[in-house]
Amino acid sequence: MILTGLPGVGKTTAATHLAHRLGDTFRDGQLYVQLDSARGPHRTAATVLADLLLSIGVAGSAIPRTVSQRAALYRAKLADRRVLVVLDDVRDTSQVQYLLPGGGGCAVLITSRARLTAIPGAHLLDVEPLDDADGRTLLDRIAGTRRFATEKEATESLLAGCAGLPLALRVAGARLAGSPHRPVRWLAGRLADEQRRLGELRVGDLALRACVATAYQGLTPDAAQVFRALGLLPTGEFPSWLLAVMMSGVVGEEGPDDRVDDILDALIHANLIRVHQVDPEGGPRYRMHDLLRAYAAERAVEEESPARRREIVGRVLDGWLHRVRVAGEQLLRTGADAATAWLEYERTSLAATVEYAVRSHHGVQASELVAALDDICHQRNWWDDWERMAQVVLDRASADGDRRRIAMAQGSLARASVARGRADEAVRWFVSAIQQLDELGEQCQAAYLRVHSSFAIADRGMTEDAHSDAAAAVAVLSALGDLRGTVLALRSLGSVLFHQHREAEAARVLARALEAAERLGQPLALADVLQALAVIEMALGRYPAAARNLDRALTHYRAVRHRPGEAYALFTIGRLRLARDPEGAAEAFGPLAQAGRMFSELGERRGEALTEFMQGRAHAALGDQARARGGFGAALAAFRALSMPAWEKRTRDELGNLDR
């Protein structure tokens, strides 16, 4: 059996414990050999065999000269015995081949930092890091239970800093045991700093850094360089394509690469990284233990120039940016399952990457990443991540004094604020961002923000400003030949005209938007226009046309898995059924209830409020005044909180009708 695992994971301790448990099974005893060690020189097989022969009673003068002769004598002496041979800290297979007994009554227990898969008949067993419960037990044994019981939060932090490695836990426990006057939070605070963590994990002759260094020093130069580069990543988990980008600097062409595969295999063989899982694209995903990553980062600072470190991080960010843009385009065009699955899978990594880009002073790439993620965050409802990423990018841009990046981040925050129902805050961000982009001559970016601003403020009573924004955006984006932007701007202008009760004009504008959307060929953009047009047609009494457009819109929303759009389409279907046949209002409850549930799940407060209002009208049409009043009351409170005065007035009018 071969026990393998991370440096410091306790392979030798596990082997010693297992050998003790097997004492009765091997009646003729056990032989223990330390092969390689961070504390001593490399031992050859011939030297080890000489020691083994001496330990089983062979006189020194009878030991043969050659390694093959020594191995033959060793096997002959053990042929009729039941002996357990423990070979600790084996470096590679060549060290072992002469040390394996020939008799069937003997067994060999090996520990190794490498994954020795080439030894015939061997069973490889990974020694895993301890979980928090076992880690706490180890700390209790070394430093005392009472101490940790009184500082639970600090103990959790300490366990996180040691990350389950028994060697790290032993060092931490020993340091606390040797300093009884110091609280647990003293050491926990020191371990919380990744840059000093390895230096703190040392006491006496126990040192985690030395243990990891032994594995690192056994790498080839190429593998060592990649190991250092991995220490510059924002997290210990990474996909295989990222390694290819780091090595080549070429994005978008990460095909099979034997050199990349060889280096990955070398790092896996050395137990410095592990295969973690398979990602949605079917590619392997790897993980480096937190303490190994701290060592890798340390080596990168010591052995790589600042320019080289910056180049590596830049390559990583370029790789993420390219993939996000490709996935975003697929999402808009087809709602591809693969793109959706990949984005959801990488959500945490993307947020961490943006924040890391900011910390490492790659502000431009951080801004580009957030800009590429804007539509994705909106479509996938990543509200918290969106705001957090935009805010850190804004802070970095403000510190750098980059007005364009400041405006881009403010635009992202404005859109996120709209999604969260914070209209006043959104308007402030929009006004500031658009003003700066106008001053900088960034026509296209300013026009897109005017479109989003127009959508945000139109049903909040600011129809003149919304009309001005939408009309200006149509002019700019049409002149620039930006078809997608033109579709968005025309849809926004049509919606504003509807809010101004200019339904006929709105219908003409949205007809232009529909023609452009058909040419654009993006299902999501087409669905949005179809739904907006259905609302206008419903107001004009064109119910069959409205129904056809809503059916098409719902099909497209579902095809691209756009749940907010699907919810609004269901809401509008319920609204249409109520408008077409008030006496058959019961038929409206089905789609309205579905829409309400989806809005609630998505955190879409505007949609929830509109649904409450429309359900109130349906109850009123059926003569159920109590439920109608409840629906209108909930809607009124929400419209007031969302600063939607036109809808507030409509709701009060409906409540007045109930009173009359």
Q: What is the pLDDT of residues 125-183, one digit of tens each?
A: 888 888 889 888 998 888 887 888 888 898 898 888 888 888 888 888 888 888 888 88
Quote the pLDDT of residue 630: 92
Q: How confident is the model at residue 37 (pLDDT cuts 50, 70, 90)?
A: low
Q: CB of 466 within 8 A of CB of 454?
A: yes
Quote the pLDDT of residue 41: 58
| 205: helix, strand or coil | coil
Determine the straight-line distance between the first and last CA of the chain, rounded to whole angstroms.
Answer: 87
Q: Chain-centre distance of CA 473, in angstroms?
A: 35
Task: Give every CB contact of residue 306 below 8 A, 6+ residues apart in sequence.
Answer: none
Q: Mean of the pLDDT values across residues 410-417? A: 94
- pLDDT of 39 over the 50 cut: no
Q: Mean of the pLDDT values across residues 412-420? A: 89
Q: What is the pLDDT of residues 60-75, one digit of tens each?
A: 888 898 999 999 999 9
Q: What is the pLDDT of residues 223-280, one digit of tens each?
A: 999 999 999 998 888 888 888 888 887 776 665 577 888 898 889 888 898 888 887 7
Q: If you search the block for the tokens 């200006």, which residue do you land on?
A: 472
Quote the pLDDT of residue 253: 64
Q: What is the pLDDT of residues 540-595, one digit of tens each?
A: 999 999 999 999 999 999 988 888 899 999 999 999 999 888 777 889 999 999 99
Quote the pLDDT of residue 194: 77
The mean predicted confidence, pLDDT, of the chain is 88
| 86: helix, strand or coil | strand
| Tokens (6 digits) for 593 | 């209830």
Angle between helical axes of 306-333 and 240-248 (0-180°, round to 10): 130
| Tokens (6 digits) for 308 | 């080289």
| Tokens (6 digits) for 53 | 């022969």
Q: Mean of the pLDDT values across residues 420-434? A: 89
Quote the pLDDT of residue 256: 59
Q: What is the pLDDT of residues 98-126, one digit of tens each?
A: 888 877 788 999 998 888 877 877 888 88
> b or e along 374-391 (b: 16 or more beta carbons within 10 Å of the residue's beta carbon)?
bebbbbbbbbebbbebbb
- pLDDT of 406 over the 90 cut: yes
**What CA–CA distance (Å, rounded) separates 86 from 593?**
68
**What CA–CA distance (Å, rounded) separates 491 from 452?**
11
Contacts 24+ apart (CB under 8 A), 390-395: 390/416, 392/354, 392/355, 392/358, 392/366, 393/354, 393/358, 393/363, 393/366, 393/367, 395/358
| 59: helix, strand or coil | coil
Q: CB of 410 within 8 A of CB of 428?
A: no
Q: CB of 398 within 8 A of CB of 436?
A: no
Q: What is the pLDDT of residues 637-660, one digit of tens each?
A: 999 888 888 889 999 998 888 877
Q: How confident is the model at residue 415 (pLDDT cuts 50, 70, 90)?
A: very high
- What is the share, in percent, of the chain residues with pLDDT greater than 90? 44
Q: What is the pLDDT of residues 373-397, one digit of tens each?
A: 998 888 788 888 999 999 999 999 9
- pLDDT of 513 over the 90 cut: yes
Q: What is the pLDDT of residues 430-440, one digit of tens each?
A: 999 999 999 99
DSSP 478-522: HHTT-HHHHHHHHHHHHHHHHHTT-HHHHHHHHHHHHHHHHHHT-
- pLDDT of 458 over the 80 cut: yes
